[in-house]
Structure 1
Amino acid sequence: MATIFIKDDLRASVEAASGGKTTVLYTAKGQPSYMNVVPKFMLEDVADSVGTLGTGVHPAFIVNGIEKSEFFYGAYQGIIKNGELLSLPNVNPSRSSNFDTFSNTARAAGAGWHVGTNAEWAALLLWCHKNGFTPRGNSNYGRSSDATFETGRRIDGGAPGVTSGDPAILTGSGPASWRHDNTANGISDLVGNIWEWQTGMRLMDGEIQIIPNNDAVTADLSAASAAWKAIRLSDGALVDPGTAGTAKFDSPTATTTGNGGTPILSASIVNRNGTLGDSTSTAGSMAAAFNAITTAAGVTAPALLLALGLFRHKDVADSDSIYLRNYGERLPIRGGSWSYGAAAGLRALYLSDPRTGASSSIGARPAFVL
């Protein structure tokens, strides 16, 4: 741990060039990882209107009951090198590994290292929306679907927009508008390119479960972990999974194939989509614009769900989409990939894959909290 903050020439040059927004941290094996510093903020500071997100420090800045002044987030989508998950510029991001592989290689980098958590992603989402800028990215085979003149350098060297080959781009090779703050030193590729596994949140048979605050940094992340908590709809309190009245995603129709429609935030599940353990695109799922998620009669989304990016915190004119199956354990990936067009975005959320899922369009990003 003592060597993670080595003040060498590389770190000094990166900090000088970025005005301190980006730094270099070192792993247990001494490998460099380029990280953006995300300073602590309050929920009320990023709320669209008073009280919508609750009050106090955003959950991403609380780890095991201790407030943190900042967390460090990978400036780039992750690459596995020498058994550790790193954030490096201008590389082919690692893909086609399941959740546990990415999580294990992130933690192998040393204490405090982890795959980015859903709480951290939500903090960035809220910050971007409050600051009036939503990044674009590789959502159309090497270019932005919203601004096709914006391009990155494809892995296969192909022309932007060509649907064959490998349309993923080298990390950070897009323009400043593909960074979270619209500057060359922001966090790159949060939108499109490849989906990113998230820790600390899941669906279990449709029940929304989280590991409180940002405790997923150190917690047991296994399916049977006692760290998982459900969210009571009436007041947002954290309770044991299976407790009556917890937040769940229901479907308007029951199906094991095709699209089941717009998810409904509910205290009970009437219809299930998918089958236990399925991970194929032909299995039943719900798919809709994130902004279109509805609520069952008499249900109001708790502020915690809004703060964690699991329900709309305001109406946003975008087409970011949500996909989910409410059968079995489903772990989140966020952001979209090169083929998702306008459905990719900061709010894009895919809750259809089990932890064993793997795809050439899914990767992960390292983060660090001291």
Structure 2
Amino acid sequence: MGVTISAPDALRQSVEAATGGVNTVLYDSKGYPSVMCVVPRFNIEDIHPNLGTGTHPAFLVGGVQKSEIFVGKYLARIHDSHALSLPGQDPNASINFDTADLRCTAKGPGWHMMTNAEWSAVALWCWKNGFMPRGNTNYGRDHSQTFETGRRQDGLAPGLAEGTARTLTGSGPVSWYHDNTPAGIADLTGNVHEWVRGLRLVDGEIQIIPENNAAQPGADHSAGSTLWRAILQNGSLVNPGTANTLKWNATGADGTGNPQLATAVTSQTSDESTHYVSQQYKDLTAASGVTVPPLLKVLGLFPHATDIDRGRFWVRNNGERLPIRGGYWADGVNAGVFAFNLYNARSRTGTFIGFRPAFVL
């Protein structure tokens, strides 16, 4: 048994009726429900003419164009080794990439941890629709609109800068949902960082699993997977280690300064505990003479506009680094749907790192 999406039941009918079909309920291989947000296919030229043309890669899986993807409305809560998307839960954290990934794929065919392509599609949709969701960015409240609060799982008061200030899934106001309505995807900004599939850095080289093939059943995300591809300045995908692929370099000596898009790593970070480079996402730059292909902007790796007012970009360009997105409860303006953290090894855990299930049929 994989998933049932057509048979009516009371829970699904009530959720779909309440949201006009924007939300639905999908059941996994053990029959556990997850509330999912339906994200319809769109073309990238409809977001911004400088992004190119054609279907956003989030809707291309195994060479097949999908009419929609399903994104967990809520951060994952693990039950019986399955990642569920349900309201009012303390989101699971302190989980490494591979374990979080397994808790999603265990749900059956089509289920996976949210991919970077899917996340980027949602972020671009938010920008195009003129709304950047707020969230738990200041210990249970939004840092700029401090009257916006959620229910802290540790029971402490919103804004009190102590404790583990995760908020219960979906407990914030509608401005904490991606479309500013109760039918949106909750908590993409702040609360906990979220692991995403299909992207990594290896010694600074940007590597992706093409299109949304990271969502395919059995997609190999291991360090030695043959699915990884590097990117040239013209947007072509090539084998990792090919000359002049796009990389993240540091602007200062010895891995200091800001991250900068380049074709060579001449300044590399070190010191696992403290050494990284970062900059507000909207302010990222490319080295002189380096062309930024639209693909990087489509995947949220380089800003397509300068009016993105929330979100920071962090990088370590030594070793393998897997992405977490969105920021967490103490990040303030550094959290946001375009926030991007590429400095963690796949083994990293923390009370501030969670994940989210997704599904594609």
Instruction: State the TM-score, normalizing by the size of structure 2.
Output: 0.97
Aligned partner (choices 265, 270, 274) of residue 261 of structure 2:
265
Secondary structure at 1:246 match in 2: coil
In structure 2, distance between residues paired with 1:160 and 1:3 = 39
Q: In structure 1, what is the equivalent of residue 12 of structure 2?
A: 11
The CA deviation at 1:102 is 0.5
The CA deviation at 1:3 is 3.0
Q: In structure 1, what is the equivalent of residue 322 of structure 2?
A: 331
In structure 1, distance between residues paired with 2:351 and 2:84 = 18
The CA deviation at 1:157 is 1.5
Q: In structure 2, what is the equivalent of residue 120 of structure 1?
A: 118
In structure 1, distance between residues paired with 2:40 and 2:133 = 19
Q: After superposition, where does 1:133-212 map in structure 2 within 5 Å? A: 133-212=131-210
Q: In structure 1, what is the equivalent of residue 224 of structure 2?
A: 224
The CA deviation at 1:158 is 1.2
Secondary structure at 1:318 match in 2: coil
Q: In structure 2, what is the equivalent of residue 355 of structure 1?
A: 346
Q: Is the 8 A contact 1:272 1:326 kept in 2?
A: yes
Q: Which deviates more, 352-361 or 245-254?
A: 245-254
1:238 corresponds to 2:234:
no
Q: In structure 2, what is the equivalent of residue 107 of structure 1?
A: 105
Query: What is the identity, as a one-letter code, of the residue corresponding to 1:265?
Result: L
In structure 2, distance between residues paired with 1:153 and 1:168 = 8
In structure 1, distance between residues paired with 2:238 and 2:281 = 25
Secondary structure at 1:120 match in 2: helix
Secondary structure at 1:147 match in 2: coil
In structure 2, distance between residues paired with 1:312 and 1:195 = 20
Q: Is the 8 A contact 2:310 2:338 kept in 1?
A: no
1:160-199 Cα shifts (integer Å, max 9, x gaps)? 0011222110000000000000001110000000000010
Q: In structure 2, what is the equivalent of residue 274 of structure 1?
A: 270
Q: In structure 2, what is the equivalent of residue 286 of structure 1?
A: 277
In structure 2, distance between residues paired with 1:274 and 1:41 = 40
Q: Which deviates more, 266-275 or 54-63?
A: 266-275
In structure 2, distance between residues paired with 1:74 and 1:248 = 31
In structure 2, distance between residues paired with 1:80 and 1:6 = 25
1:294-332 Cα shifts (integer Å, max 9, x gaps)? 111111210000000000011125141111100000000
CA 1:350/1:19 → structure 2, altered by over 3 Å: closer, same or farther? Answer: same
The CA deviation at 1:210 is 0.3
Query: What is the identity, as a one-letter code, of the residue corresponding to 1:321?
Result: R
The CA deviation at 1:2 is 5.6
Gaps of 5+ in 1: none
1:214-259 Cα shifts (integer Å, max 9, x gaps)? 00012111010000000001x1000000111111000012437xxx
In structure 1, distance between residues paired with 2:79 and 2:253 = 43
Secondary structure at 1:352 match in 2: strand
Secondary structure at 2:30 match in 1: coil
Query: What is the identity, as a one-letter code, of the residue corresponding to 2:228?
Result: W
Instruction: State the TM-score, normalizing by the size of structure 1.
Output: 0.95
Secondary structure at 1:255 match in 2: helix
Gaps of 5+ in 2: none
In structure 1, distance between residues paired with 2:326 and 2:28 = 26
In structure 2, distance between residues paired with 1:6 and 1:23 = 12
In structure 1, distance between residues paired with 2:86 and 2:253 = 43
In structure 2, distance between residues paired with 1:192 and 1:324 = 18
Query: What is the identity, as a one-letter code, of the residue corresponding to 1:129?
Result: W
In structure 2, distance between residues paired with 1:324 and 1:230 = 17
1:311 corresponds to 2:302:
yes
Q: Is the 8 A contact 1:5 1:25 kept in 2?
A: no
- CA RMSD in angstroms, aligned pairs only: 1.1
